[in-house]
Amino acid sequence: MLRSRTALGGMITAPHHLAAQAGRDILRDGGNAVEAMIAAAASIAVVYPHMNAIGGDGFWLISEPGKDPVAIRACGGAAGLATPDFYREQGKAAIPARGPLAALTVAGAIGGWIKAAEIAKGLGG
């Protein structure tokens, strides 16, 4: 098994250096790891939007030492009429991935950031 890296002052990684810097700045200003990730996620939405955008979803797993992890499922629901029967009536064998009959979901990313910020407050943020 690989050894995990640890640091006394915290650390952050992101797919773009500006997002990592945003998270680092939060840590330097006394923020916690969850707050740093919110800053990094918001930055990624601007500087690396094909990986994380405000119109997308988010999935979080927040783990505090000695406690059970907390999951955030920040994905929106599909429209209420997007049922298998509806698509059968339209002559579709499967739900289309694209086009006017696609079952698109409501974006959940920002709602996930809000929930993560609530959790961060409980961690001293």
Could you tell me if 62 and 116 are in contact, meaning their C-beta atoms sit under 8 angstroms apart? Answer: yes
| Residue 8 resides in a domain | no
- Average pLDDT estimate for 42-62: 92
**CA–CA separation, 49 and 45 (whole Å):** 4
pLDDT score of 1 more than 70: no
Instruction: Give me the number of domains the chain comprises.
Output: 1
| Residue 114 resides in a domain | yes
- Show the beta-strand stretches assigned E in 32-108: 58-62, 70-74
Model confidence over 64-116: pLDDT tens digits?
A: 889 999 999 998 777 777 888 989 999 999 888 888 888 778 889 999 999 99
| Residue 3 resides in a domain | no
Neighbours of 47 (CB within 10 A): 15
- Between the ranges 5-9, 49-53, 88-92, 104-108, where is the mean pLDDT highest? 88-92
| Residue 98 resides in a domain | yes
Distances in Å between the alpha carbon of 74 and those of 36, 54, 67? 18, 11, 21
For the whole model, what pTM was predicted? 0.77
Domain coverage including residue 44:
17-122
- Where residue 119 falls (left for φ over 0; alpha for ψ -120 to 50; beta otherwise) is alpha
| Residue 107 resides in a domain | yes
pLDDT score of 5 more than 90: no
Report which of 124, 112, 118 is spatially closest to residue 57, judged by C-alpha positions: 112
| Residue 81 resides in a domain | yes
